[in-house]
Structure 1
Protein backbone atom coordinates (compact mmCIF):
# COMPACT_ATOMS: atom_id res chain seq x y z
CA UNK A 1 0.00 0.00 0.00
CA UNK A 2 1.41 3.38 -0.96
CA UNK A 3 1.15 6.53 1.10
CA UNK A 4 -1.29 7.92 -1.49
CA UNK A 5 -3.64 4.96 -1.00
CA UNK A 6 -3.35 5.17 2.82
CA UNK A 7 -4.15 8.91 3.03
CA UNK A 8 -7.99 8.58 3.00
CA UNK A 9 -7.87 5.98 5.78
CA UNK A 10 -5.44 8.07 7.88
CA UNK A 11 -7.61 11.17 7.37
CA UNK A 12 -10.72 9.27 8.52
CA UNK A 13 -8.94 8.04 11.66
CA UNK A 14 -7.67 11.56 12.42
CA UNK A 15 -11.14 13.10 11.99
CA UNK A 16 -12.79 10.43 14.17
CA UNK A 17 -10.15 10.81 16.86
CA UNK A 18 -10.74 14.55 16.95
CA UNK A 19 -14.43 13.97 17.75
CA UNK A 20 -13.87 11.63 20.70
CA UNK A 21 -13.61 13.06 24.20
CA UNK A 22 -10.52 11.95 26.09
CA UNK A 23 -11.10 9.37 28.84
CA UNK A 24 -11.16 10.92 32.28
CA UNK A 25 -12.22 8.86 35.28
CA UNK A 26 -14.97 10.69 37.13
CA UNK A 27 -14.96 8.74 40.40
CA UNK A 28 -17.50 6.26 41.64
CA UNK A 29 -21.02 6.52 40.26
CA UNK A 30 -23.69 7.94 42.52
CA UNK A 31 -27.07 6.28 42.84
CA UNK A 32 -29.93 8.51 41.71
CA UNK A 33 -32.78 6.05 42.05
CA UNK A 34 -32.90 5.53 38.29
CA UNK A 35 -31.85 2.44 36.40
CA UNK A 36 -29.09 2.77 33.74
CA UNK A 37 -30.24 3.60 30.20
CA UNK A 38 -30.59 0.03 28.90
CA UNK A 39 -33.04 -0.73 31.73
CA UNK A 40 -36.02 1.62 31.42
CA UNK A 41 -37.89 2.14 34.65
CA UNK A 42 -41.60 1.38 34.77
CA UNK A 43 -42.01 3.18 38.08
CA UNK A 44 -41.60 6.86 38.85
CA UNK A 45 -38.24 7.96 40.20
CA UNK A 46 -38.02 7.61 43.95
CA UNK A 47 -35.42 9.40 46.02
CA UNK A 48 -33.39 6.75 47.80
CA UNK A 49 -31.69 7.64 51.04
CA UNK A 50 -29.68 4.79 52.42
CA UNK A 51 -29.44 5.04 56.16
CA UNK A 52 -27.33 2.68 58.18
CA UNK A 53 -29.01 0.40 60.65
CA UNK A 54 -28.54 1.86 64.11
CA UNK A 55 -26.18 -0.03 66.38
CA UNK A 56 -28.03 -2.04 69.01
CA UNK A 57 -26.74 -4.14 71.83
CA UNK A 58 -27.88 -7.56 70.77
CA UNK A 59 -28.90 -10.07 73.42
CA UNK A 60 -30.77 -13.11 72.19
CA UNK A 61 -31.16 -16.76 72.89
CA UNK A 62 -32.92 -17.85 69.73
CA UNK A 63 -34.08 -20.98 68.01
CA UNK A 64 -35.72 -20.84 64.60
CA UNK A 65 -36.93 -24.08 63.05
CA UNK A 66 -39.44 -23.97 60.23
CA UNK A 67 -40.32 -25.38 56.85
CA UNK A 68 -41.87 -23.23 54.13
CA UNK A 69 -44.42 -24.45 51.58
CA UNK A 70 -41.79 -24.37 48.82
CA UNK A 71 -39.53 -26.77 50.74
CA UNK A 72 -37.14 -24.16 52.07
CA UNK A 73 -36.25 -25.20 55.60
CA UNK A 74 -34.07 -23.75 58.35
CA UNK A 75 -32.76 -24.89 61.71
CA UNK A 76 -30.85 -22.15 63.48
CA UNK A 77 -29.73 -21.73 67.07
CA UNK A 78 -27.95 -18.59 68.20
CA UNK A 79 -27.03 -17.12 71.55
CA UNK A 80 -25.60 -13.61 71.68
CA UNK A 81 -24.81 -11.72 74.88
CA UNK A 82 -23.76 -8.05 74.75
CA UNK A 83 -22.92 -8.44 71.02
CA UNK A 84 -20.64 -11.43 71.64
CA UNK A 85 -21.68 -14.61 69.83
CA UNK A 86 -21.63 -17.52 72.26
CA UNK A 87 -23.52 -20.19 70.26
CA UNK A 88 -24.27 -20.46 66.56
CA UNK A 89 -25.38 -23.45 64.52
CA UNK A 90 -27.33 -22.92 61.36
CA UNK A 91 -28.41 -25.27 58.63
CA UNK A 92 -30.73 -24.32 55.81
CA UNK A 93 -32.14 -26.39 53.00
CA UNK A 94 -33.17 -25.13 49.57
CA UNK A 95 -36.05 -27.48 48.80
CA UNK A 96 -34.54 -30.91 48.13
CA UNK A 97 -31.74 -29.52 46.00
CA UNK A 98 -29.15 -28.88 48.71
CA UNK A 99 -28.19 -27.21 51.95
CA UNK A 100 -25.79 -24.80 53.67
CA UNK A 101 -24.27 -25.32 57.10
CA UNK A 102 -22.60 -22.86 59.47
CA UNK A 103 -21.11 -23.58 62.91
CA UNK A 104 -19.46 -21.13 65.31
CA UNK A 105 -16.40 -23.40 65.62
CA UNK A 106 -15.58 -22.58 61.97
CA UNK A 107 -15.68 -18.79 62.50
CA UNK A 108 -13.97 -16.05 64.46
CA UNK A 109 -15.84 -12.94 65.59
CA UNK A 110 -14.07 -9.85 64.25
CA UNK A 111 -16.61 -7.08 64.90
CA UNK A 112 -19.26 -6.25 67.50
CA UNK A 113 -20.68 -2.89 66.35
CA UNK A 114 -22.50 -1.43 64.50
CA UNK A 115 -23.28 -5.05 63.53
CA UNK A 116 -21.73 -8.37 64.51
CA UNK A 117 -19.40 -9.92 61.97
CA UNK A 118 -17.73 -13.32 61.94
CA UNK A 119 -15.14 -14.50 59.40
CA UNK A 120 -14.51 -18.11 58.40
CA UNK A 121 -11.20 -19.33 59.79
CA UNK A 122 -10.53 -21.42 56.66
CA UNK A 123 -9.66 -18.28 54.65
CA UNK A 124 -12.57 -18.78 52.23
CA UNK A 125 -13.83 -15.21 52.69
CA UNK A 126 -17.15 -16.39 54.10
CA UNK A 127 -18.69 -13.81 56.44
CA UNK A 128 -21.62 -14.15 58.82
CA UNK A 129 -23.37 -11.00 60.01
CA UNK A 130 -25.91 -10.33 62.76
CA UNK A 131 -27.83 -7.08 63.11
CA UNK A 132 -31.02 -5.85 64.71
CA UNK A 133 -33.72 -3.58 63.40
CA UNK A 134 -36.95 -2.73 65.23
CA UNK A 135 -38.78 -5.87 64.03
CA UNK A 136 -36.17 -8.62 63.93
CA UNK A 137 -32.63 -9.85 64.38
CA UNK A 138 -31.09 -11.03 61.13
CA UNK A 139 -28.40 -13.69 60.72
CA UNK A 140 -27.03 -13.46 57.18
CA UNK A 141 -24.11 -14.76 55.15
CA UNK A 142 -21.91 -13.43 52.33
CA UNK A 143 -19.44 -15.19 50.01
CA UNK A 144 -20.15 -18.56 51.67
CA UNK A 145 -20.54 -20.81 48.62
CA UNK A 146 -18.04 -23.31 50.09
CA UNK A 147 -20.41 -23.94 53.01
CA UNK A 148 -23.22 -25.00 50.65
CA UNK A 149 -24.12 -27.73 48.21
CA UNK A 150 -22.97 -26.56 44.74
CA UNK A 151 -25.56 -24.62 42.75
CA UNK A 152 -27.91 -23.48 45.52
CA UNK A 153 -26.06 -20.60 47.20
CA UNK A 154 -27.93 -17.82 45.39
CA UNK A 155 -31.18 -19.13 46.90
CA UNK A 156 -29.88 -19.44 50.48
CA UNK A 157 -31.64 -16.67 52.41
CA UNK A 158 -30.89 -15.20 55.86
CA UNK A 159 -32.67 -16.39 58.99
CA UNK A 160 -34.79 -13.91 60.95
CA UNK A 161 -35.35 -14.05 64.70
CA UNK A 162 -38.03 -12.30 66.74
CA UNK A 163 -36.13 -10.22 69.33
CA UNK A 164 -39.02 -10.51 71.82
CA UNK A 165 -39.26 -14.30 72.06
CA UNK A 166 -36.21 -15.66 70.19
CA UNK A 167 -38.32 -17.68 67.74
CA UNK A 168 -38.60 -17.28 63.99
CA UNK A 169 -39.62 -13.77 62.98
CA UNK A 170 -42.54 -13.28 60.64
CA UNK A 171 -41.35 -12.61 57.10
CA UNK A 172 -44.15 -10.18 56.26
Structure 2
Protein backbone atom coordinates (compact mmCIF):
# COMPACT_ATOMS: atom_id res chain seq x y z
CA UNK A 1 0.00 0.00 0.00
CA UNK A 2 2.83 2.25 0.90
CA UNK A 3 4.29 1.75 -2.57
CA UNK A 4 0.99 2.63 -4.10
CA UNK A 5 0.84 5.89 -2.13
CA UNK A 6 4.37 6.82 -3.26
CA UNK A 7 3.40 6.01 -6.83
CA UNK A 8 0.29 8.21 -6.56
CA UNK A 9 2.29 11.06 -4.96
CA UNK A 10 4.97 10.75 -7.68
CA UNK A 11 2.32 10.74 -10.40
CA UNK A 12 0.69 13.81 -8.83
CA UNK A 13 4.06 15.61 -8.73
CA UNK A 14 4.76 14.72 -12.34
CA UNK A 15 1.28 15.88 -13.32
CA UNK A 16 1.86 19.19 -11.53
CA UNK A 17 5.05 19.76 -13.56
CA UNK A 18 3.45 18.91 -16.87
CA UNK A 19 2.10 21.73 -19.00
CA UNK A 20 -1.62 21.96 -19.49
CA UNK A 21 -3.00 21.01 -22.87
CA UNK A 22 -2.89 23.91 -25.32
CA UNK A 23 -6.03 25.99 -25.48
CA UNK A 24 -7.78 25.91 -28.82
CA UNK A 25 -6.76 28.83 -31.00
CA UNK A 26 -9.55 31.33 -31.55
CA UNK A 27 -10.99 31.32 -35.04
CA UNK A 28 -10.74 34.82 -36.52
CA UNK A 29 -14.10 36.30 -37.35
CA UNK A 30 -14.52 37.38 -40.95
CA UNK A 31 -14.26 41.14 -41.38
CA UNK A 32 -17.55 42.83 -42.07
CA UNK A 33 -17.92 43.83 -45.72
CA UNK A 34 -16.64 47.34 -46.29
CA UNK A 35 -18.84 49.45 -48.52
CA UNK A 36 -16.79 51.19 -51.18
CA UNK A 37 -16.75 54.79 -50.22
CA UNK A 38 -16.39 57.65 -52.66
CA UNK A 39 -12.97 59.19 -52.04
CA UNK A 40 -13.01 62.60 -50.44
CA UNK A 41 -11.17 65.20 -52.51
CA UNK A 42 -9.65 68.35 -51.13
CA UNK A 43 -9.29 69.96 -54.53
CA UNK A 44 -12.50 71.05 -56.28
CA UNK A 45 -11.00 70.22 -59.71
CA UNK A 46 -10.35 66.62 -58.67
CA UNK A 47 -13.85 66.43 -57.21
CA UNK A 48 -15.25 67.57 -60.57
CA UNK A 49 -13.14 65.02 -62.47
CA UNK A 50 -13.96 62.09 -60.14
CA UNK A 51 -17.33 61.30 -61.73
CA UNK A 52 -16.21 61.65 -65.32
CA UNK A 53 -15.40 58.82 -67.66
CA UNK A 54 -11.92 59.99 -68.64
CA UNK A 55 -9.63 57.82 -70.69
CA UNK A 56 -5.92 58.30 -71.32
CA UNK A 57 -5.03 60.10 -74.51
CA UNK A 58 -3.34 57.67 -76.91
CA UNK A 59 0.29 58.40 -77.73
CA UNK A 60 0.59 58.73 -81.47
CA UNK A 61 2.56 60.92 -83.86
CA UNK A 62 1.11 64.39 -84.31
CA UNK A 63 -0.24 65.29 -87.75
CA UNK A 64 -1.64 68.77 -88.29
CA UNK A 65 -1.74 71.42 -90.99
CA UNK A 66 -2.87 74.96 -90.35
CA UNK A 67 -2.65 78.26 -92.13
CA UNK A 68 -4.94 80.43 -90.10
CA UNK A 69 -5.51 83.77 -88.48
CA UNK A 70 -7.80 84.55 -85.59
CA UNK A 71 -8.83 87.67 -83.73
CA UNK A 72 -10.52 87.45 -80.32
CA UNK A 73 -12.83 89.80 -78.43
CA UNK A 74 -10.03 91.64 -76.59
CA UNK A 75 -8.01 92.36 -79.72
CA UNK A 76 -5.46 89.54 -79.72
CA UNK A 77 -4.58 88.60 -83.30
CA UNK A 78 -2.98 85.23 -84.02
CA UNK A 79 -1.42 84.23 -87.34
CA UNK A 80 -0.14 80.70 -87.72
CA UNK A 81 1.48 78.65 -90.46
CA UNK A 82 2.08 75.11 -89.21
CA UNK A 83 2.78 71.76 -90.81
CA UNK A 84 3.58 68.68 -88.73
CA UNK A 85 3.79 65.24 -90.38
CA UNK A 86 4.32 62.13 -88.27
CA UNK A 87 5.51 64.34 -85.38
CA UNK A 88 8.16 66.00 -87.57
CA UNK A 89 7.73 69.79 -87.74
CA UNK A 90 8.04 70.79 -91.39
CA UNK A 91 7.05 74.44 -90.98
CA UNK A 92 6.22 76.65 -88.02
CA UNK A 93 5.65 80.38 -88.03
CA UNK A 94 3.48 82.07 -85.39
CA UNK A 95 2.81 85.73 -84.67
CA UNK A 96 0.60 86.75 -81.77
CA UNK A 97 -0.18 90.46 -81.37
CA UNK A 98 -1.83 91.55 -78.15
CA UNK A 99 -3.60 94.90 -78.27
CA UNK A 100 -1.75 97.39 -76.09
CA UNK A 101 0.86 94.78 -75.00
CA UNK A 102 3.03 94.10 -78.04
CA UNK A 103 3.61 91.00 -80.12
CA UNK A 104 5.47 87.69 -80.06
CA UNK A 105 7.08 86.00 -83.08
CA UNK A 106 8.14 82.36 -83.36
CA UNK A 107 9.76 80.90 -86.48
CA UNK A 108 11.09 77.42 -87.17
CA UNK A 109 14.47 78.81 -88.30
CA UNK A 110 15.11 79.85 -84.67
CA UNK A 111 14.25 76.42 -83.23
CA UNK A 112 15.51 72.84 -83.34
CA UNK A 113 13.23 69.88 -82.73
CA UNK A 114 14.19 68.05 -79.51
CA UNK A 115 11.40 65.49 -79.22
CA UNK A 116 8.58 63.89 -81.20
CA UNK A 117 6.72 61.79 -78.62
CA UNK A 118 4.77 62.00 -76.40
CA UNK A 119 4.80 65.71 -77.39
CA UNK A 120 6.51 67.63 -80.12
CA UNK A 121 9.16 69.79 -78.48
CA UNK A 122 10.99 72.65 -80.16
CA UNK A 123 13.91 74.32 -78.36
CA UNK A 124 15.19 77.78 -79.27
CA UNK A 125 18.71 77.64 -80.73
CA UNK A 126 19.99 80.69 -78.78
CA UNK A 127 17.80 80.62 -75.63
CA UNK A 128 17.76 76.98 -74.45
CA UNK A 129 15.07 77.64 -71.85
CA UNK A 130 12.65 78.81 -74.55
CA UNK A 131 10.55 75.87 -75.72
CA UNK A 132 7.44 75.32 -77.80
CA UNK A 133 5.38 72.21 -77.09
CA UNK A 134 2.65 70.77 -79.28
CA UNK A 135 0.17 68.08 -78.32
CA UNK A 136 -3.21 66.77 -79.40
CA UNK A 137 -6.26 66.22 -77.22
CA UNK A 138 -9.23 64.80 -79.09
CA UNK A 139 -9.38 67.02 -82.21
CA UNK A 140 -7.55 70.02 -80.79
CA UNK A 141 -3.83 70.69 -81.07
CA UNK A 142 -2.33 72.96 -78.41
CA UNK A 143 0.81 74.99 -79.11
CA UNK A 144 2.30 76.27 -75.85
CA UNK A 145 5.21 78.66 -75.40
CA UNK A 146 7.46 78.35 -72.35
CA UNK A 147 10.16 80.76 -71.09
CA UNK A 148 10.36 82.79 -74.31
CA UNK A 149 10.24 86.47 -73.28
CA UNK A 150 13.01 87.35 -75.78
CA UNK A 151 10.73 86.29 -78.64
CA UNK A 152 8.32 89.06 -77.63
CA UNK A 153 8.29 92.84 -77.40
CA UNK A 154 8.38 94.33 -73.91
CA UNK A 155 6.30 92.29 -71.47
CA UNK A 156 4.02 90.78 -74.12
CA UNK A 157 5.13 87.26 -73.16
CA UNK A 158 3.42 87.67 -69.78
CA UNK A 159 0.09 87.87 -71.64
CA UNK A 160 0.74 85.12 -74.19
CA UNK A 161 -1.64 82.15 -74.08
CA UNK A 162 -1.28 78.87 -75.98
CA UNK A 163 -2.63 78.74 -79.52
CA UNK A 164 -5.26 76.06 -80.11
CA UNK A 165 -5.87 74.62 -83.58
CA UNK A 166 -8.70 72.36 -84.71
CA UNK A 167 -6.82 69.43 -86.28
CA UNK A 168 -9.79 68.54 -88.52
CA UNK A 169 -10.02 71.85 -90.37
CA UNK A 170 -6.88 73.83 -89.32
CA UNK A 171 -8.76 76.74 -87.74
CA UNK A 172 -7.15 78.74 -84.92
CA UNK A 173 -8.98 79.36 -81.66
| TM superposition score normalised by structure 2 | 0.67
1:66-98 deviation per Cα after TM superposition (whole angstroms, max 9, x unaligned): 111211110011000100000000000111320
Unmatched runs of 5 consecutive residues or more in structure 1: 1-31, 36-42
- After superposing on structure 2, the runs of 4+ consecutive aligned residues of structure 1 that deviate more than 6 Å are 47-52
> Whole-Å Cα distance in 2 between the matches of residues 123 and 154 of structure 1?
17
The offset of 1:166, in angstroms, is 1.3
Residue of structure 2 in register with 1:98 after alignment: 102
> Whole-Å Cα distance in 1 between the matches of residues 72 and 144 of structure 2?
18
SS of residue in 2 equivalent to 1:46: helix
Residue of structure 2 in register with 1:64 after alignment: 68
Does structure 1 conserve the Cα–Cα contact (< 8 Å) formed by 2:139 and 2:168? Answer: no
Q: Out of 83, 88, 91, which is 1:84 matched to?
A: 88
After TM superposition, the structure 1 stretch with the greater mean CA deviation from structure 2, 58-67 or 74-83, is 58-67
Does structure 2 conserve the Cα–Cα contact (< 8 Å) formed by 1:57 and 1:82? Answer: yes
SS of residue in 2 equivalent to 1:89: strand
Does structure 2 conserve the Cα–Cα contact (< 8 Å) formed by 1:33 and 1:47? Answer: no
The offset of 1:118, in angstroms, is 0.6
Q: Out of 103, 112, 117, which is 2:116 matched to?
A: 112
1:73 aligns with 2:73: no
Q: Relative to structure 1, is the Cα distance of residues 122 and 51 closer, same or farther in structure 2, using a 3 angstrom cutoff?
A: farther
> Whole-Å Cα distance in 2 between the matches of residues 102 and 45 of structure 1?
35
The offset of 1:100, in angstroms, is 0.5
Aligned length: 131
> Whole-Å Cα distance in 1 between the matches of residues 99 and 172 of structure 2?
18
SS of residue in 2 equivalent to 1:150: coil
Mapping 1:9-158, distance limit 5 Å: 34=42, 46=47, 53-158=57-162
| Bigger Rg over Cα | 2
Root mean square deviation of aligned Cα: 2.5
